Amino acid sequence: MELPKRTKGDEYTSTGEYPELRRRIRAASEGLSIPAAVAYAFDNRTRLVPYFYSSHRMAPAGARAVAAALYDSGLTKTRVVLQQWTPNFRPSRAKLDGESLEMLLVSSMQIHAERAYRLIADACSLPPQDRPLILGGGPKAIYEPWDLFGIGGDPNISADVVVTGEEFVLMQLVEVLLEYRGAGGTMRAAFHLARADGALASIPGLVYRQDESFDSPLVTTGIQRLVRNLDEIPHPVIGYQLLERPHRGRELRSQPLAASRIWRHSPIGSLSISHGCKFNCDYCPIPAYNQKTYRHKSGDRIVDEMRRLREQLGIRFFFGTDDNFFNDRSSAEQLFDKMAVAKIGGKPLRKMARWGTEATEFDTWKNRDLLPAARLSGLRALWMGLEDITATLINKGQSVNKTEELFAMLNKVGISPMPMMMHHDGQPLHSKEGLYGLLNQVKFLRKIGAQGMQVTVLTPAVGTRSYEDNFEKRSVFDAVGTTPLLQYQFDGNNVVASTLPKPWRTQLNVLIAYCSFYNPINFARMLLRPANSVGLGVVYQVGSMIGLVKTAIHSARWSYRLWRGPITRRAAPSQPKAPMIDVSLPGDQCSQSDGSTAIPGSRPVGPAPVRGNASDKPATVPLRVGTESQGKISASG
């Protein structure tokens, strides 16, 4: 099921609301010391091609943005800890300027959830009075917030509050908590007071336990409001300067990573340029998450971000975290106009900074006349979700002829086309005729100038229209052999759902497809191409051939286990294990794509509890906390 959206016209914050909120928090937090760590969970088992390099060499934008928002609001004792770089970090032992953490903010995708649980478990190993306030956020929290409470069935291992939206929601929460904390309290104590007072119900985008009792239901406050003007978001240069430097230790170092060394560890800078996509693919949660909106930054702002990151931190390669960059022509145009004439250190921006992003083939084709301008803005690579160029799996306006013509145009202007393909049950490895087979498509794309290749398997994604169907069709695996499936395996690199009798073949198909693209022969071919079409291809070939060694071992093992079986299947996805109560205020009510109004898994309770009245408790429902997928969690595991 997709996330619901707010009523039309009520999706956004008003102009200036977010900067004003930060200004108020700055005033309220003056003189306070609130040590906080934003920990980005990362499961190293997912470090495979095609993300072998980017997952470690591109500091994630979400965790940086959250830390930047705290810092910019006066909570300057904030550090960003990436588990890719600091795998042994233990929140329970972390100190900033000699003080223990008062807030632990865990950011996680679904595939890194097992690592997120451990971070939370470690923080919960402290005596209750010493525990930081534990907040969950990021894609795992957005779609399955209940999973971060009562982890592994232990009600003591739990986040205190989960943010199901963006940093604006967090800062609204921080403002309320500061009001309750005062000068001498802690953020966790403030959270308990604010919750008891009903003061959190008016912040859309939160999930928390109604009280501290073991059978407490979860409360959801509805769907977030989105910051409309992305230029209002704090500058990314702030978040970069809060990064913990890579090390194997458990504690935090006294100083963050030095500015002069940031580019060495994160040579690619991810930049949030736009959010949203006009398409509506049934296996993708992005349009619903964005409440069908499209937001973008101004050209001036992007120029300023690149300039400062280049000049102050030495980062010269950028990746736009766009869902569909060419979604809106006028916003792309204004960006190119500004970037084409911008200078960094007296030189044209395009000489000092290069960038890549994601866009659909349909919109890139529609705006193909802008490609020369795009190149002048420094755009050097475009990742396109072609999925299946015959449009059999999904029709997003892609076609064989269009792809061929577009790739030629892109290569001509010096922008590397980077196709992203999706292998599925209906697609054979090879077809005798036409282009339906996976290998036929990979070979064709290489010939027409693809500089890189991503092949993932179609994997059920939470928050999508097709998610539940996959369970109903009994395609999603529950266990293979005696081992239950874990969340890290839903990364598109493992076959975790299939109705075929031999899913191990699908697993090998992907590996064969990669080997057919990334190999010494194609590497040599790339080198022999005319200079203007070599682009990223050579770099990608080398990096991916290295990454393929680990990926091949991983794939062969998983394929073997699928072959051995037996495979058991699941009839339904994980559900909230505690009852969920929707207390969103009338103005914050939202609607589902099917016309219903509640948050998935929740039931409305009418008017939200107001301050001073937190006793709106539902009839008791038998409680089992944690999900099957969580397993037993221990802080030391």
- In the bound state with ligand B12, the residue whose beta carbon lies nearer, of 340 and 485, is 485
- The pair of three-digit structure tokens given for residue 461, joined into one six-digit string: 């994604």
Mapped onto helix, strand or coil, the DSSP state of residue 109 is coil
Interaction partner, residue 506 (ligand SF4, ligand B12, none; CB < 5-8 Å by kind): none
Interaction partner, residue 582 (ligand SF4, ligand B12, none; CB < 5-8 Å by kind): none
What is the per-residue DSSP string for 335-375?
HHHHHHH-EETTEEHHHH-EEEEE--HHHHHHTGGGHHHHH
Name the residues that contact ligand SF4, by CB under 6 A: 277, 279-281, 284, 286-287, 323-324, 360, 385, 396
d(CA 385, CA 382): 10
Interaction partner, residue 609 (ligand SF4, ligand B12, none; CB < 5-8 Å by kind): none
- In the bound state with ligand B12, the residue whose beta carbon lies nearer, of 169 and 373, is 169
Shortest Cβ distance from residue 516 to ligand SF4 (Å)? 24
CA dihedral sign of residues 620, 126, 83, 309: positive
- In the bound state with ligand SF4, the residue whose beta carbon lies nearer, of 177 and 359, is 359
Shortest Cβ distance from residue 116 to ligand SF4 (Å)? 24
d(CA 353, CA 331): 20
Interaction partner, residue 512 (ligand B12, ligand SF4, none; CB < 5-8 Å by kind): none
- In the bound state with ligand SF4, the residue whose beta carbon lies nearer, of 279 and 471, is 279
d(CA 72, CA 215): 38
Q: Give φ, ψ of 402 to 5 degrees.
A: -60, -45
Number of residues assigned to the chain? 637
Interaction partner, residue 396 (ligand SF4, ligand B12, none; CB < 5-8 Å by kind): ligand SF4
- In the bound state with ligand SF4, the residue whose beta carbon lies nearer, of 39 and 458, is 458
Query: In the beta sheet, which residues pair with residue 136?
Result: 106, 162
- In the bound state with ligand SF4, the residue whose beta carbon lies nearer, of 174 and 497, is 497
Shortest Cβ distance from residue 607 to ligand SF4 (Å)? 35
Residue nearest to ligand B12 (CB): 137
- The pair of three-digit structure tokens given for residue 610, joined into one six-digit string: 């107001």
Interaction partner, residue 145 (ligand B12, ligand SF4, none; CB < 5-8 Å by kind): none
What is the per-residue DSSP string for 483-527?
EEP-GGG-SSSS--B--SS-HHHHHHHHHHHHHHHSSHHHHHHHH
- In the bound state with ligand B12, the residue whose beta carbon lies nearer, of 138 and 547, is 138
Name the residues that contact ligand B12, by CB under 6 A: 46, 51, 54-55, 58, 60-63, 65-66, 105-107, 109-111, 135-140, 143, 163, 166-167, 170, 270, 272, 275, 284-286, 321, 323, 456, 461-462, 491-492
Interaction partner, residue 236 (ligand B12, ligand SF4, none; CB < 5-8 Å by kind): none
- In the bound state with ligand SF4, the residue whose beta carbon lies nearer, of 340 and 422, is 422
Helix segments in 201-348, DSSP class H = 236-240, 262-265, 286-289, 299-313, 329-341
d(CA 629, CA 302): 41
Instruction: Report the alpha-carbon angle 261-264-268, nearest 5.
Output: 120
Shortest Cβ distance from residue 564 to ligand B12 (Å)? 25
Interaction partner, residue 143 (ligand SF4, ligand B12, none; CB < 5-8 Å by kind): ligand B12
